[in-house]
Amino acid sequence: MKFTDIIALAWRNLRQAKLRTSLTITGVIVGVAAIVTMVSFGLGLQDNLLKDALARIDLFTSITVMGPGADALLAMQDQNQDGAANANGDDNGADASNGEKSDGAASTTPEATPEPSPTPARMLDDPAIAELQSISGVRYVLPNFSFSNYVRFEGRTRRAFIGGAPRSVEYNPRFKKFLAGHHFASDDAREVVVTERFISWVRSKKRINGNRRRRPGGPFQVAPTRSEEERAREANGILGKEIILLTLREQNSAPASVFGIPIIDVSSNEISGGTAGDSSSELGEQYEERVYRIVGVLKAEDGFDINNFMETDMFIPLEHAKGFREAGLDPMSRMGELLAGDTGYQNAEIRVADVSQVDSIKEEIKKRGFRAWSFTNQVEEIKRVFLIVNSALALLGGISLLVASFGISNTMIMSIRERTREIGVMKAIGGSDGEIMRIFFVEASLIGLAGGALGVLGGWGIDRVANTLANRWILKQVGQTVRHIEFFSIPWYLSSGAILFAIIVSLIAAIYPAMRAAKVDPIKALRYE
Amino acid sequence: MAILEARNVTREYRMKAENVRALAEISVAIERGEFMAILGTSGSGKSTLLNLFGGLDRPTSGEVLFDGESLAPLSSWEMSRYRLRRVGMIFQSFNLIPTMTARENVSLALAFAGLSKSERRRRSLELLDRVGLSQRAGHLPSELSGGEQQRVSIARAIANEPQVLLADEPTGNLDSSRAAEVMEVLDEMRRRDSKTIVLVTHDHELAGRFATRIIRLKDGRVIAD
């Protein structure tokens, strides 16, 4: 008998007992829908965490590249580490000076030869940054020069995160998204580019009326929905205003000067921790004020504003920033930098377009002689945890499919009892045991296929309803519209896998009934009326 | 050479603790083109003999031969092919599949032989025409009279052109005129297509009218030939 005829026969048999068949299929639908809903929730969670939230926080799309300056620091801190031969330091021509300086640092402490790694990193200077930018898949490279400093704006003072940025930004797409205004005019302009984070601080001040100073934008603050025009208007309003950066006035003896800006010992920094702005007149005596004019507002990245946590409030020209930072460094770090000499940037943050590229780009960076570090190992760890969670969820859903499989067995045994005579006839007119068996296996797989397909559809439906309700609930709780969150994920492998699994389970459930059908004795089956 | 032959065939059944001997060392040879009637009371073993000839059953001892070849070594699958191609069976209770139309019932036998759908359609109509039922092709068995149903089952039995037709009380459920009709059809098969007919019946009158040879069974033995 041809296979198509077997399918036709099986189909006919199922249609003959419509109610029984549909009830059996319903059992499978429930089982498959349970699996799909459970697993899609797990996968959705994983997606939200990995692709979405974490990708936005830029933890997993960022690679930190470290220059030799960082080496010197590490060397200072890890003196106990038994270092490899420091001669390696001279191998690299670019690092020759650095190597010598490191030696100098070592001589201050007996015996220890600080050498954190066999080959010191390459100098992380502007050409290096440009080179990193040229690696394919790199979104941008931001030389890391952020520091915190007191700033005064419209009569209020706070501590702000300030970054240094070069004037030439052709390799830095980040500075192309301006909500208002433009970039610095030159590398030593007294100009500042602020971020939307800064604006939200200004706004929150206005609302709170300056009574209690709350840090704006906690890490998981919900981004208020403001139209782009609204944000642009706000940004335009702030252009041209002045921000005053405060540095401590030189009070101590033993001033060190880097980039012409005095370094102040932290021990004399009595105002640290004091609430800024309490008495700005008094502070004014201790602080030197440097006035910067706001020339541009950078556009925040879309979506959840988790970035608030990591982001800087404003950028000033790089050379200025270097000076400010020297002033703000703790003595240990400053010493490290001094010893290391001109080592370029300490580190740079690279953002990669896609999480999956992080590893390959990291390797590429290492190949070019830099130190690179990223969070990708953690991604693998998280994926492994989710695999376990998803398997557990699938198992839970699988229990209902197991129950459904008993339903399939039951239905088929019933149907074989009813059709014993028919089976006997088929055998008498030339049907083989195998053909009889195949008819029942095909019946079972049709049940599995129909139940599986409808079950996936059902699971998808449940997901949609649950997702809508969940989003509505969040809206109610938060009181603000958040970006619509997708809690469930049904990738193709889940839907096809669930259908396949339903078919396999149905086939297993049909083994016993099909064998029983094949064993029907035609003489007995045909004997009685 | 005999087309069908039973050699020293014994068939025993186990019923509860007892062994029931349905056939006791029976030997019968049926020649090609014969219309042989097997007569006997119920329990005489005549249906058992027919089932052995039909490849539905295997003897406890002795052997059944078709065209000189023993059926004993055939596998279960080969036995099913034997039933499909070599013999056609007709039953007292017709044994048509009630949910299939006359044509579908005939088609089923053709489907087991692997014929394509269009071939089956053509051939099944042809077969129903042979038994005078081309007008009733689309009817379910329940919509047909007993005689018509039996003619459908004859059409099904000859679907794959077997040389032997095995009929187990084909007229048992029919009134005498319908019974005669069915017997006519069988007789015509023998005369026109030179099929061998083996008829199990307890109707002496019908057997006498159509059979070319009559054997009588009693308690699993041939008592008259």
pLDDT, tens only, B87-141: 999 998 899 999 999 999 999 999 999 999 999 999 999 999 999 998 999 999 9
Bridge-based pairing state of the strands B164-168 and B4-15: unpaired
Contact B108 A429 (CB under 8 A): yes
Rounded Cα distance between A514 and A442, Å, is 10
Residue with the bigger pLDDT between A390 and A221: it is A390
Option in B51, B93, B157 nearest A523 (CB): B51
Inter-helix orientation angle A433-478/A420-428, to 10°: 140
Structure-token match 């049940």, residue found: A447
More confident residue, A106 or A296: A296
Q: Is the ipTM of this complex over 0.90?
A: yes
- Nearest CA of chain A to the CA of B100: how many Å? 10
Per-residue confidence (pLDDT) for residue A413, from 0 to 100: 93
Q: How would residue A219 be classed by pLDDT, with cut points 50, 70 and 90? A: very low
Lowest mean pLDDT among A195-209, A438-452, B64-78: A195-209
- The single residue listed with the structure tokens 């006791």 is B24
Q: Of A349, A345, A321, which is closest to residue A149 (Cα–Cα)?
A: A321
pLDDT reported for residue B50 = 92
* Band of pLDDT at residue A479, cut at 50, 70 and 90: low
pLDDT at A336 over 60: no
Chain-chain contact of A425 with B54 (C-beta, under 8 angstroms)? no
- A499 three-class SS: helix
Mean pLDDT of B139-162: 93
**Is B216 near chain A, with CB under 8 Å?**
no
B91–A contact, CB cutoff 8 A: yes
pTM for this predicted structure: 0.63
The whole-number pLDDT of residue A276 equals 42
Q: How many helices (H) and strands (E) are present in chain B, helices listed first?
A: 7, 10
Interface with B, mutate which of A5, A7, A429, A439 (most B CBs under 10 A): A429
Task: Return the closest-CA partner of residue A328 out of A162, A144, A123.
Answer: A162
Looking at chain B, which residue has its C-alpha nearest residue A519?
A: B76
Q: Which amino acid is at B70?
A: S
- Whole-number average pLDDT of chain B: 91
Question: Does any CB of chain A come closer than 8 Å to the CB of residue B111?
Answer: yes
- The pLDDT tens digits of the residues spanning A9-27 come to 999 999 988 999 999 999 9
CB atoms within 10 A of CB A232: 16
A128-137 residue pLDDT tens? 888 888 888 8
Binning pLDDT at 50, 70 and 90, where does residue A94 land? very low
pLDDT in tens, A286-325: 667 888 888 888 877 544 333 334 567 888 887 787 777 6
Q: With CA atoms as reference, report the closest residue to A119 among A151, A100, A92, A158.
A: A92
Q: Are strands A191-195 and A287-298 parallel, antiparallel or unpaired?
A: parallel
CA of A402, closest CA in chain B: separation in Å?
A: 32
Strand B87-90 and strand B164-168: the pairing is: parallel
A479 touches chain B (CB under 8 A): no
- Nearest chain B residue to A432, by CA: B80
A87 vs A193: CA distance, rounded Å = 44
Nearest-CA distance from B145 to chain A in Å? Answer: 17
Beta-carbon contacts of residue A158 (< 8 Å; ≥ 6 apart): A150, A151, A201, A213, A276, A277
Helix, strand, coil percent values for chain B (each to nearest 5): 40, 30, 35
Helices (H), A92-184: 96-108, 126-133
Output the pLDDT for position A476: 77
Contact A351, A61 (CB under 8 A): yes
Closest-CA residue to A153 (of A208, A189, A201): A201
- B95·A431 Cβ contact <8 A: no
Facing A430 at nearest CB: one of B80, B91, B99:
B80
Q: Which of A225-239, A473-487, B210-224 has the lowest mean pLDDT?
A: A473-487
- Output the pLDDT for position B77: 93
| pLDDT level of residue B150 (50, 70, 90 thresholds) | very high
Cross-chain Cβ contact A526/B57 below 8 Å: no
Q: What is the mean pLDDT of residues A503-509?
A: 95
The tokens describing A253, both together, are 């003896």
Provide the pLDDT confidence category of residue A61 given band limits of 50, 70 and 90: confident
Q: Taking CA B194 as the corner, what is the angle to CA B188 and CA B196, rounded to the nearest 5 degrees?
A: 90
| B20 Cα to chain A: minimum distance (Å) | 16
Task: Compute the average pLDDT of residues A460-465.
Answer: 94
Tokens of B185: 């059809």
B85 touching chain A per CB within 8 A: yes
Tell me what pLDDT residue A249 has.
58
Residue B196 has pLDDT above 80, yes or no: yes
Which residue(s) pair with B217 in the sheet?
B222
B167 has a pLDDT exceeding 90: yes
Please check the confidence at residue A343 and state whether its pLDDT lies above 70.
Answer: no
Sheet holding A347-352, edge to edge: A138-143, A347-352, A62-66, A371-374
CA nearest to A216, candidates A160, A292, A279: A160
Has residue B83 got a pLDDT over 90? yes
Whether A433 has its CB under 8 Å from any CB of chain B: the answer is yes
pLDDT exceeds cutoff 60 at A84: no
Residues of chain A with pLDDT > 90, as a percent, come to 23
**Confidence band for B81, pLDDT divided at 50, 70 and 90:** very high
Q: Which residue of A has its CA nearest to B158?
A: A429
> Which of A1, A421, A434 has its CB closest to that of B111?
A1
Sign of the alpha-carbon dihedral angle for A255, A270, A312, A278: negative
Chain B CB within 8 Å of residue A522 CB: yes
Range list of H helices, A134-270: 196-208, 228-238
Amino acid at A15: R
Residues 6 or more apart whose CB falls under 8 angstroms from that of A320 comprise A164, A188, A190
> Across residues B52-79, what is the average pLDDT?
93
Amino acid at the residue B93:
S
Q: What are phi and psi of A269, to 5 degrees?
A: -85, 70
- For A221-239, write each residue's pLDDT tens digit: 444 556 777 788 888 888 8
CA pair distance A141, A165, nearest whole angstrom: 11
